Structure 1
Amino acid sequence: MGGLGAKVTIVGVGAVGSGIAFALAWGGLATELVLIDADRRRAEGEAWDLDDAAAFIKPVHIYAADYPDSAGSRVVVFSAGQPRAVGQSRLELARTNLEVLKEGFPRVLRYCPDAVHLIVTSPVDIITFAANRLADIGDERVVGLGTVLDTSRFKRMLARHLRVDPRNVHAYVVGEHGDPVPLWSRVSVAGFHLDDYCREQGLPLPDRAELLKPMLSRADEIIGRKGLTQFAASIAVARIVEAVLRDERSVLTVSGMVEGVYGLEGPNCFSLPAVVDARGRHRPLPLALNEEEMTKLRETAAHLRQVHRELGIA
């Protein structure tokens, strides 16, 4: 099993990238953190700011650098690019951030061909697909943040209704980040299906549409108030990095290449539950879905294929 002492590079240390660096440092998840950004002074500032906390965290060497210094990283987090503005379409954002990917991703691949590459740049499923097209290192080692954060939001909403710790709610959100498919048929608590648990505890069955409203609008609400989502996404990324560094074989809804699963046409890239370990993301787990969930997943797959064609990356 892999240990924690490891080198991690973060490409793009804006608000989200710096949040990821903070989460990794505070969690003691690496012994070396390399921060790369087009604005070198910004990267230096973030590195120095974190380094000043050395007396309060586990030993970690944090520094600003350039691409050659990323060599030997076990994980590379690619978070360079523009955040989504209120009202901006994913297609508009994708055109902008594809150019950022094309400029930076081949450079980090050159020095880190053996690393697991974790894509955070939005829109994450489209950018992860494009990164897989650019790379030739195996689909399992280019993964995206996917619906890991959506799944956390779903669990939180369920937990409030069920009056339990969110960590005890077993649930998944799949599909495309930003337009997710919650798998109601797979929700369980302590071995009870959702409806059975509610009956057992004397709770009303949740109004599914009402429960989902805050989950689906949360990102826009946060962006409208503070300009971007940052902390939860950073912690979600740190969780994936931890699974890789620890060789955990944890099941997470990361984004990755999908072809032949559920009979869906490919190649494509979106989130399904999959084992994540030191090698990256394994083949998605083919959970039994109901017809409504399958229909939504087919629609997601068709939509993403159309977007790939419009962007010229199909």
Structure 2
Amino acid sequence: MKITVVGAGNVGATLAQRLIEKNFADVALVDVIEGIPQGKTLDMRQSANMIGFTHKIVGSNSYDVTSGSDIVVITAGIARKPGMSRDELVGINAKIVREVIEKSLALSPHAMFIIVTNPVDTMTYLALKVSNLPRDRVFGLSGVLDGGRLAAFVAEELNVNASDVTPCVMGEHGGSMVVYPRFTIVNGKPLSELVDDSKQKTLAERTVNGGAEIVSIMKTSSAFYAPSASVAHMVSAVATDSGMIMNCAALLDGEYGLSDVVIGVPVELGRGGIKKIVELPLNAEELAALKVSAEAVRKTISALPK
């Protein structure tokens, strides 16, 4: 197996490191900045003796090294800067994602694409339209990361291990994401039975602002350990054909009463990508919240360059 990571910033480079250390695939790291992917992958190769991985990892400014990839992960893009409108961010990152899709697909026509670039729901929608690939082969990072954040906060609150928590966060990967306490399970019990409504709301709000909280602490950087771990988790499910269910940004076609929009929903991941979309038995209130979140994504999609 061969995996390409496009974007050698903190998320992309850390992801490349996580993947090569799993030792189930060759890895190519691509970036437009000369020397960065080459230097970072050289550094990683010099750890092989200690870590014990035997697969190859290379870095380049050229897409030639990506030829024949099974999975392409797109982390390339810019973060929203002070004074920048959301539409401006969408326009800049849309241009980047479009170019990456076109160049990667030409060399790896059978690849599946995992989108990390923000706003991820909209960029995943764009990637689907540009590539003209089926929805099982193009999906994005959303609920795996958001759920990981929720699990960390629940673990702190209830004094359990984060691995004891099966989180459920759906909808937009952004301000309108929806945390579902009834479907978040802690050691076999729903979170809704373990904490009161007020605490559920507090946990949900902290999850929504999980990335911003890190930025406010670090000042000059944003999260990359949890995002890279989340994508590596998704890639592992595909590579091992695990059939694991996790929440990813996926194109809906009637599920949850929604169509032609990408939001985070539970999917079964395995070789080939999305095996199926799982529909949870949401009640009327829960479904309404999901539809509000979907409308927020539609608004951002409308800002895509025509």
> Match of 1:254?
248
* Alignment pair present for 1:177 and 2:173: yes
Extract unaligned runs of 5+ from structure 1: 1-5
**In 2 relative to 1, CA 216–77 (structure 1 residues): closer, same or farther, beyond 3 Å?**
same
Structure 2 match to 1:158: 154
* C-alpha spacing 1:88/1:239, structure 2 compared with 1 (3 Å): farther
Deviation at 1:89, TM superposition (A): 4.9
> What does 1:97-176 correspond to in 2, within 5 Å?
97-176=93-172
- Cα distance in structure 1, aligned partners of 2:168 and 2:190: 13
The residue type equivalent to 1:121 in the other structure is T
- Match for residue 55 of structure 1? 49
- Once the two structures are TM-superposed, the CA of residue 14 in structure 1 deviates from its matched residue by 1.5
1:76 aligns with 2:68: no
Partner SS state of residue 76, structure 1? strand
Q: CA deviation at 1:164?
A: 1.8
For residue 18 of structure 1, report the CA deviation from its aligned partner: 0.6
The answer on 1:14 being equivalent to 2:9 is yes
Instruction: Please name the residue that 1:215 is paired with.
Output: 207
Taking the aligned partners of 2:93 and 2:197, their CA distance within structure 1 comes to 42
Is the CA contact (8 Å cut-off) linking 1:78 and 1:120 kept in structure 2? yes
Structure 1 outlier segments of 4+, above 6 Å? 203-206
Q: Which residue of 2 aligns with 1:188?
A: 185
Q: CA deviation at 1:238?
A: 0.7
Q: CA contact under 8 A between 2:48 and 2:54: conserved in structure 1? A: yes
TM-superposed deviation, 1:280: 0.5
Answer yes or no: is 1:279 the counterpart of 2:236.
no
Q: Residue 269 of structure 1 aligns to a residue in which SS?
A: strand
Shift of 1:13: 0.9
Structure 1 stretch displaced more, 112-121 or 208-217: 208-217
The share of aligned pairs that are identical, in percent, is 30
Measured at CA, do residues 20 and 156 of structure 1 come closer, stay the same or move farther in structure 2, by a change above 3 Å? same
Quick one: which of 227, 230, 246 aligns to 1:236?
230
Q: Tell me, what secondary structure is at the counterpart of 1:276?
A: strand
- Superposition deviation, residue 26 in structure 1: 2.5
State the alpha-carbon separation in 2 of the partners of residues 256 and 211 from structure 1: 25
Task: Mark the CA change 1:87 to 1:173 in structure 2 (over 3 Å): closer, same or farther.
Answer: farther
Cα separation, 2, equivalents of 1:251 and 1:88? 36
Deviation track 1:47-86 (CA, whole Å, cap 9, x = no partner) reads 1111110112211211123223212211111111112336
Q: If the length of structure 1 is used for normalisation, what is the TM-score?
A: 0.89
One-letter code aligned to 1:260: G
The 8 Å contact of residues 185 and 289 in structure 1, kept in 2 or not, is answered as no
For structure 2, the 5+ residue unaligned runs are: none
Provide Cα deviations, 1:126-172, integer angstroms capped at 9, x if missing partner.
Answer: 10000000012211001111221001111121222222222122221
Q: Secondary structure of the equivalent of 1:43?
A: helix
Compared CA separation, residues 268 and 39, structure 1 to 2 (3 A): same
Distance 2:82 2:153 in 1: 23
- TM-score when normalising by structure 2: 0.92
- SS of equivalent residue, structure 2 residue 287: helix
The 8 Å contact of residues 183 and 289 in structure 1, kept in 2 or not, is answered as no
How far apart, CA to CA, are the structure 2 residues paired with 1:234 and 1:12?
Answer: 12
Shift of 1:214: 2.6
Q: How many residues align?
A: 301
Per-residue CA deviations over 1:23-48 (Å, capped at 9, x if unaligned) read 11233342x11111112311111111
Return the alpha-carbon distance in structure 2 between the equivalents of residues 8 and 195 of structure 1: 39
Aligned with 1:137: secondary structure? coil
Shift of 1:212: 2.6
CA deviation profile, 1:102-133 (whole Å, cap 9, x unmatched)? 22210101111111211111111110000000
Distance 2:21 2:84 in 1: 33
Show the counterpart of 1:92.
Answer: 88
Cα gap change, 1:285/1:215 in structure 2, threshold over 3 Å: closer, same or farther?
same
SS in 2 for 1:254: strand
Alpha-carbon distance in 1 for matches of 2:203, 2:294: 25
2:281 maps to 1:288: yes
